């Protein structure tokens, strides 16, 4: 069953699809792209100490700054962070990035409970 915020990826063209509403049916929802089933991405988390992918959330005046990760992630044409999300109890804020950008995003959001996700084009989906 597809849940709100699940992200699926096409194994052929790397297209990403994010579920905006939770599925209410009883089926095994399957999304397709390029004629193939899309793969559900699993959020990865890891020890932050040596990690380049786990987002680091910093409270700043008026909001949050999210950096990927404790050692800055590369942002080259071959290997980059395509997006960073800040997730609150009832909203998702997205910053799309491109090669050459800094692997960070600032969200002027007044919320107490937040988490962050990022997507690396080579290493997948990560959450903190």
Binding positions for Fe ion, rule: CB under 5 A: 120, 122-123
Residue reference for tokens 């700043």: 60
Nearest approach in angstroms of CB 110 to Fe ion is 31
Instruction: For residue 124, report the phi and psi dihedrals to the nearest 5 degrees.
Output: 90, -155
Phi and psi, residue 49, nearest 5°? -55, -45
36 neighbors 30 (Cβ within 8 angstroms)? no
In the complex, what is the shortest distance from the CB of residue 92 to Fe ion, in angstroms, rounded to a whole number?
21
Question: Least CB distance from residue 13 to Fe ion, whole Å?
Answer: 19
Taking the C-alpha atoms of residue 124 and residue 112, their distance in angstroms, rounded to an integer, is 27
> Residue with CB nearest Fe ion?
120
Residue 5 vs 123, nearer CB to Fe ion: 123
Q: Which is nearer to Fe ion, 40 or 123 (CB)?
A: 123
For Fe ion, the closer of residues 73 and 86 by Cβ is: 73
CB closer to Fe ion, 5 vs 52: 52
Cβ atoms 95, 68 nearer than 8 A: no
């Amino acid at each position: 069953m597809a849940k709100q915020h699940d992200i699926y990826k096409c194994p052929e063209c790397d297209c990403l699809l994010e579920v905006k509403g939770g599925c209410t049916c009883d089926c095994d929802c399957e999304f397709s792209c390029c004629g193939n089933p899309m793969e559900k991405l699993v959020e990865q988390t890891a020890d932050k100490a040596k990690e380049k992918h786990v987002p680091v959330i910093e409270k700043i005046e008026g909001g949050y700054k999210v950096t990927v990760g404790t050692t800055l992630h590369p942002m080259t044409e071959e290997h980059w962070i395509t997006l960073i999300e800040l997730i609150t109890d009832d909203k998702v804020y997205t910053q799309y990035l491109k090669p050459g950008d800094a692997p960070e995003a600032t969200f002027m959001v007044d919320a107490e409970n937040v988490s962050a996700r990022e997507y690396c084009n080579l290493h997948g989906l990560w959450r903190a």
